[in-house]
């Protein structure tokens, strides 16, 4: 099956244009909109069912069935989630460079289905688990741990899932946003709520995973729980393919990494070449698709054209030859340079988003392990699954996502006069604050649980507030960060920018693994013990809270200095307008008409 997203430039259609399945200009009445976006969201819904159904309860399987240590089990989970989100960069690269978003999502959905099927086998075969041990040994964590051979199949299946899910996550939101035309007032209005509804929808999948699937894993069989996930993923592939003729496609425009490499390499090789007196002398300045900016001016040297260099006293034939080697068409263009500048502008915010996901990772590891030490009985017969505590996390996400769309955003829009109400960075900042509060609450609850352990086993529902706070934080942070990276990225690099956003999740999970290892070594296992009653997990939570405060201060500094990308140019606006000219132009038209979301 060949989608329009894979067609080469023919029929005179611009490579960056949105086309239908046959490669023709789209008919908006028959393609895209919420019909196409809804089918696409089904794929992410299934991906979330699979990933959440695995990650939220995996630590109990590693500790309880494979008899691994608490710290080692936590690191396996966070490394799996870290790899999954890091591989989103690969998925974004492939989509932008060659495959297109549709084909990338379809291929990686099949890979995910294969990985979950393999995991079903790995957890169903008795030969893949060590011998069971008696209750005395369980209490002292002295059971025989799984061997390397038994872990091999588990790791292969987990990282196959990570590869597939990473490719889906990098492209499904971008592919969904391609179904809306922001030049159409009606579709632009729908686009405003797309990211909220996107996350609301996939949170429903997460809710199903941490309730129904986790219960089946704990009370029926792991294989049945993962088997349902595999079936869900197969169904999602069928749904995605069934809507092929209903989608709008944006053709891949070449590898964004190639553009970044060309610009950085050219700027370095021509570092001794002086900049022209005015940016209009840069290569293809007059036809640039992106306004020239004054930041990172050293990169402008990549666009110093041949005519300027040969008239300069410091120019040489070698510089001209170097530029020809960098790009077949000559020196880099102003558009290419400005696109790289846009990516570099994202990095400071990127770095401060990492710690939120380090906090989030605790909800899939230590918080779940804490639950196994608490009273989980409801009535006389029902034992609440440890992994199902994430139910409160996703309920919180659904609640605050709905409040954002129905109450907070309209209220902020009325108060500020901006179409988006609150900016993406404001959302992200609220998420960071809530993550700090979550770690403070986590530390206090863990201290109370540990102090009560000798005489009383407290209810597992003491853990609900920390799940609720992290869920509320995610409702703000995920949507805000995703919107920020997609809207602020260059058009040709949107899939890669989604991968860049997801890499913050990756770095957050990897940073959690690093912190656990460092703390375990520095305290000689004093804080994080196999028996949590003998450890000081509350100290670990306090450490994360302090790091969160420092990180938030740095975030505020970077956010206050960030200049939002101009989303829409006036039709009378000269292409290639400089920042100073743009400032002058802004004084003559309303904020809503010229730019959306410029304030932090």
Q: What is the pLDDT along the chain (600 residues), one digit of tens a residue?
A: 444 444 333 333 344 578 878 778 877 777 877 888 888 888 888 888 888 888 878 888 888 788 888 788 888 888 888 888 888 888 888 887 788 889 999 999 999 999 999 999 888 888 877 887 765 444 445 678 877 888 888 899 999 999 998 888 878 877 888 888 877 777 776 776 776 677 677 778 888 888 888 888 888 888 888 889 899 899 989 989 988 888 888 887 766 777 888 888 888 888 787 887 777 777 777 777 777 777 888 888 887 865 444 444 444 444 444 444 444 444 788 888 888 888 888 889 899 999 999 999 888 888 888 888 888 888 777 888 887 888 888 888 888 877 877 777 777 777 766 666 678 888 899 999 999 999 999 999 999 998 888 888 889 899 999 999 999 999 888 888 888 887 787 776 766 677 678 788 889 989 998 998 899 889 887 888 878 888 888 999 999 999 999 999 999 999 888 877 665 433 333 334 444 343 333 333 332 332 233 222
Angle made by CA atoms 327, 332, 335, in degrees to the nearest 5: 130
Please tell me the distance from the alpha carbon of residue 431 to that of residue 60, in angstroms, as a whole number.
28
Full-model pTM: 0.71
- Could you give the 3-state DSSP secondary structure of residue 459? strand
Specify whether the backbone of 400 is left (phi greater than 0), alpha (psi in -120 to 50) or beta.
alpha
Q: How far apart are alpha carbons 212 and 53 in whole angstroms? A: 9
**DSSP-assigned letter for residue 30:** T
Q: Measured at the alpha carbon of residue 405, what is the angle toward residues 567 and 85, in degrees to the nearest 5?
A: 70
| b/e 287-309 (16+ beta carbons within 10 angstroms → b) | ebbbbbbeeeeebbbbbbbeebb
In order of 368, 457, 462, 527, the CA distances from 452 in angstroms are: 18, 7, 12, 18
* Cα-only R_g, the chain: 26
Angstrom distance (rounded) from CA 279 to CA 275:
8
Taking each helix axis as running N to C, give the angle between helix 101-124 and helix 148-177, from 0 to 180 degrees, rounded to the nearest 10.
150
CB 374 within 8 A of CB 462: yes
């Amino acid at each position: 099956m060949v989608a329009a997203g894979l067609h080469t430039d023919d029929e005179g259609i611009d490579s960056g244009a949105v086309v239908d399945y046959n490669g023709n200009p789209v008919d908006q009445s028959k393609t895209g909109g919420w019909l196409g976006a809804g089918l696409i969201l089904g794929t992410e819904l299934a991906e979330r069912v699979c990933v959440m159904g695995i990650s939220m309860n995996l630590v109990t399987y590693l500790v309880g069935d494979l008899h691994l240590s608490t710290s080692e089990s936590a690191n396996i989970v966070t490394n799996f989630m870290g790899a999954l989100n890091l591989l989103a960069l690969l998925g974004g690269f492939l989509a932008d460079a060659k495959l297109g978003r549709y084909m990338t999502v379809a291929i990686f959905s099949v890979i995910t289905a294969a990985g979950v099927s393999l995991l079903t086998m790995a957890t169903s075969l008795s030969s893949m688990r060590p011998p069971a041990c008696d209750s005395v040994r369980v209490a002292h964590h002295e059971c025989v741990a799984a061997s390397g051979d038994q872990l091999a199949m588990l790791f292969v299946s987990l990282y196959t899932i990570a590869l597939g899910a990473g490719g889906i996550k990098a492209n499904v939101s971008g592919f969904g946003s391609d179904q809306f035309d922001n030049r159409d007032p009606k579709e632009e209005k729908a686009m405003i709520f797309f990211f909220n509804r996107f996350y609301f929808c996939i949170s429903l999948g997460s809710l199903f995973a941490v309730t129904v699937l986790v219960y089946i894993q704990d009370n029926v069989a792991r294989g049945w729980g993962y088997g349902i996930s595999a079936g869900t993923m197969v169904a999602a592939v069928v749904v995605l393919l069934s809507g092929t003729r209903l989608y709008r496609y944006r053709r891949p425009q070449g590898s964004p990494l190639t553009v970044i490499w060309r610009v950085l390499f050219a700027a370095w090789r021509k570092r001794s070449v002086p900049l022209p007196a005015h940016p209009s002398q840069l290569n293809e300045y007059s036809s640039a698709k992106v306004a020239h900016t004054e930041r990172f001016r050293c990169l402008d040297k990549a666009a110093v054209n041949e005519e300027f260099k040969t008239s300069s006293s410091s120019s040489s034939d070698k510089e001209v030859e170097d530029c020809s080697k960098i790009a077949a068409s000559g020196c880099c263009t102003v558009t290419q340079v400005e696109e790289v500048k846009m990516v570099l502008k994202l990095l400071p915010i990127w770095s401060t988003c990492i710690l939120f996901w380090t906090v989030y990772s605790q909800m899939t590891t230590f918080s779940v392990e804490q639950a196994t030490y608490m009273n989980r009985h409801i009535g006389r017969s029902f034992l609440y699954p440890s992994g199902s505590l994430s139910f409160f996390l996703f309920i919180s996400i659904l609640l605050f996502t709905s409040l954002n769309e129905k109450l907070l955003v309209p209220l902020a829009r009325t108060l500020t006069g901006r179409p988006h109400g609150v900016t993406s960075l404001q959302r992200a900042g609220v998420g960071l604050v809530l993550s700090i509060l979550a770690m403070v609450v986590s530390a206090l609850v863990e201290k109370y649980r540990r102090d009560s352990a000798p005489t009383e086993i407290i209810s597992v529902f003491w853990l609900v507030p920390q799940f609720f706070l992290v869920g509320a934080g995610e409702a703000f942070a995920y949507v805000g960060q995703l919107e920020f990276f997609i809207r602020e990225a260059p058009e040709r690099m949107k899939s890669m920018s989604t991968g860049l956003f997801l890499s913050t999740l990756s770095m957050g999970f990897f940073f959690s693994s690093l912190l656990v290892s460092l703390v375990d070594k520095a305290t000689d296992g004093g804080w994080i013990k196999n028996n949590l009653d003998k450890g000081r997990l509350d100290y670990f939570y306090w450490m994360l809270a302090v790091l969160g405060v420092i990180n938030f201060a740095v975030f505020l500094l970077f956010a206050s200095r960030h200049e939002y990308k101009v989303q829409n140019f006036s039709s009378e606006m000269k292409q290639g307008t400089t920042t100073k000219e743009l400032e002058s132009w802004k004084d003559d038209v309303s904020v809503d008409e010229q730019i959306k979301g410029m304030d932090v």
